[in-house]
Structures are given as C-alpha cells and as structure tokens.
C-alpha cells in the first residue's frame, strides 16, 4: 500500500512540473517569408529605326540567393515625357507597358537566355524611361530593374550603295552617306555607322560587328572565316541628346570569302652572274597572306619554263647554281598565297642573261 502511494505522489509531481513548465505567454506564430525574384540589373535599350528594343537576362535566383523555380513573367514599366515641355527633374510616373508570360515566351524561343521586347508605340521628340519587374507564381514582384532612358527622335535614312570586296583574309566594305533624315529634313546629328554581318541561314544580331562606331565611309572586317558566304548590312547612327538612334538597314550585300585572288606579280627582277652561278633579286611583295615565291627558268631555245624550287621560296632572292658556261637563260618569278588551293600570280617580267 505504501509503495503504491509513493508511486502516485511521484507521478503527480512530474505532472505538475510538466504543466508549470509549459505555462507562460506564447509568441505569435511567424509565417515563412516567401522569396521574391532577384533584381534585374542588365536592362539595355537599343533605339533602332521605328522601335526601341529592350533586352535583359532571365533571372536564375531569388533575392535571398535561393534558386528561382517559379518564375511566371515580366512587367515592362515605362515613363513618357515630352522632350521640350516635360519636367526632367520631376519624379517619374511609370505605368505598365506590357506583361510577358515567361512560359509562352520560352515555348517560342526555348534556347533563349535573355528576353527581348520591341516597343513600337512611340512618338518623336519624347523621352522614354524603362524598368523591368519580374514576378513568380505567387505574383510577388522583384525589385525594379536598372533604368534605361531614351531620347527618341527621327532616325536617319539608311546609308547608300554598300559594297563588299574580299582582300586577302578580310572584307573591305565601302558605302555612301545618307542624304537626309527619314522625314526628308536635313541630316543632323549623324555620328557614325554600325555594321552587321550574318550567315545565310541566320538573322542579324542585335549587336554590331564592332563595339565602336565606324566614323568613316569604309571599314575592314577581319573577323571572317575563309570559304564562307556572308551577308552584310549597315545602319547610320544619329545622336539625340545622350541617345544613339540607328537608321533602318541599308540594302544588304553578299560575299563569298573563298580566296580566288592571287598576289600581285613580283616586280624589279634582275639577274647578276657571279663565279658560282646566277643571283636573282626582286622587290618583296606586301600581301599579308603571302606564302612565298616560285622561280622559273628556261635555257637556250626552249619554249617552256621549268620551276626551280620544290616548295615556296620565302626570300626575295635566289641563287641558281645549276647553270653552265656560255649558256643563255631566261628567268621569271611568281608570288603565291597561303590559301588552299594556292593562288599564284602572273609571272614577273622576264629577265635574260648570258652566263
């Protein structure tokens, strides 16, 4: 009986301790904070002909660094003011320009790593400022992206008469200046040109061949591959305030980069007899793709030349030891390039000598 009483008393004490230790004021339950997409920081704007093209990278993470798995779309925000009448220092009032559904966009461009949108609802002599906001399936918004401001005005007409010529291992392009702006008014603010290049089965990139404006009416494109077909176009660039506005594309030109152009024929060939043979010298060719020279000789009354060297001769001189006394010789030299198959120049002017 006594042992049973002790057990009951012990159990009662434990129960009281448990109850008292759980007493006290409970805190409010804290709901988990949902992650929002990270801020877009690389928004760019490309004013081109009749549109402003916006480009930005697809975010991969949330603002807290976790992986973004529930991206739903992008909201394009725009502020618009008149260049002359608007208040440049006033706070900008952004409104929704367009809402891009992420899944639908990727269905059309499954390999895309960036989003591209063309704003064509524009009015000349206006300032447009853009920001991008992404959002997830819970419709939670990211912070606003960096801003892009565009001073929009009438673009130039495209350049005229674009021509392309293969020269050694590069393409030389020339063109003529546009005569006016698109509305026919006098050409103002022209600062240069942007060149674009593509293969026949591709579209032109948004980025020009060169990162810097071309400020002359000709350029050399060295970034080509040989034995390929290329298409080129050109856009004139007008500067309005701090904005560079591109014209439409000029008529494109096509060129094949298979090198069928031989070097120039060597010049200045002369022959000098010495005790042990005949020394030949000529002026060095200046082509960048020059691979060397071939030396030809015929003797006596023979009609055909014979090539003396087995491989291209790299120097602009040659010593012919295989000559005989009292023999008449005629020499000529050609230049060859490093293309396969090689292109060989016409023969130089012949030189005759009696040894």
Question: What band does 29 get if pLDDT is binned at 50, 70 and 90?
Answer: low
Residue 8: the pLDDT is 42
Structure confidence at residue 72 (pLDDT): 97
The pLDDT assigned to 32 comes to 57
Instruction: Name the residue ranges covered by the structural domains of the chain.
Output: 44-152, 160-256, 270-354
Grade residue 12 by pLDDT with cuts at 50, 70 and 90. very low
Task: Please give the CATH topology (third level) of the domain spanning 270-354.
Answer: Immunoglobulin-like (2.60.40)
Query: Looking at residue 4, what is its pLDDT?
Result: 46
- The band of 17, judged by pLDDT with boundaries at 50, 70 and 90, is very low
Kindly state the average pLDDT of the residues 334-345: 90
Residue range 160-256 in CATH 2.60.40.10 = yes
The predicted structure's pLDDT at residue 16 = 41
Task: Band the pLDDT of 211: cuts 50, 70, 90.
Answer: confident
Highest mean pLDDT, choosing among 8-22, 136-150, 249-263: 136-150
Ranges 86-90, 102-106, 184-188, 350-354: which has the least confidence: 86-90
What is the CATH superfamily name and number for domain 44-152?
Immunoglobulins (2.60.40.10)
pLDDT score of 260: 82
Tokens in use for 264? Answer: 């120039």
Domains 44-152 and 160-256 share a fold: yes
What does the pLDDT average to over 175-184? 96
Q: Taking all residues of the chain, what is their mean pLDDT, rounded to a whole number?
A: 89
pLDDT at 20: 40
Q: What is the pLDDT of residue 5?
A: 45
pTM: 0.71
Mean pLDDT is lowest, of 25-29, 134-138, 289-293, 303-307, for: 25-29
Bond before 341 cis per omega within 30 degrees:
yes
Q: pLDDT class for 2, splitting at 50, 70, 90?
A: very low
């Amino acid at each position: 009986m006594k042992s049973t009483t002790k057990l009951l008393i012990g159990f009662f004490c434990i129960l009281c301790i448990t109850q008292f230790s759980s007493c006290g004021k409970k805190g409010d339950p804290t709901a988990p904070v949902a992650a929002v997409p990270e801020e877009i920081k690389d928004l760019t704007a490309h004013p081109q002909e009749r549109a402003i093209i916006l480009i930005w990278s697809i975010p991969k993470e949330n603002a807290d660094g976790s992986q973004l798995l529930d991206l739903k779309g992008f909201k394009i925000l725009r502020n618009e003011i008149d260049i002359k009448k608007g208040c440049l220092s006033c706070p900008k009032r952004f409104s929704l320009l367009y809402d891009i559904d992420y899944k639908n966009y990727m269905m059309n461009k499954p390999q895309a790593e960036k989003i591209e949108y063309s704003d064509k609802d524009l009015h000349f002599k206006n300032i447009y400022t853009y920001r991008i906001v992404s959002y997830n399936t819970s419709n939670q918004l990211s912070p606003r992206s960096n801003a892009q401001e565009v001073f929009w005005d009438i673009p130039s007409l495209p350049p005229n008469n674009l021509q392309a010529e293969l020269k050694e291992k590069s393409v030389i392009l020339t063109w003529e200046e546009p005569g006016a702006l698109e509305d026919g008014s006098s050409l103002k603010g022209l600062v240069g040109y942007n060149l674009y290049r593509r293969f026949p089965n591709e579209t032109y990139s948004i980025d020009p061949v060169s990162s810097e404006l071309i400020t002359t009416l000709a350029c050399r494109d060295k970034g080509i591959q040989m034995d390929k077909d290329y298409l080129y176009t050109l856009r004139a660039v007008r500067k309005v305030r701090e904005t560079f506005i591109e014209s439409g594309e000029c008529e494109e030109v096509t060129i094949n980069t298979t090198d069928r152009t031989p070097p120039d024929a060597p010049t200045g060939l002369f022959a000098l007899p010495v005790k042990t043979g005949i020394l030949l010298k000529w002026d060095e060719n200046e082509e960048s793709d020059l691979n060397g020279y071939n030396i030809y000789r015929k003797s006596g009354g023979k009609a055909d030349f014979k090539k003396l060297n087995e491989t291209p001769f790299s120097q602009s001189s040659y010593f012919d030891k295989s000559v005989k006394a009292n023999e008449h010789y005629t020499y000529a030299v050609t230049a060859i390039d490093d293309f396969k198959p090689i292109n060989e120049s016409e023969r130089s002017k012949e030189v005759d000598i009696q040894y």
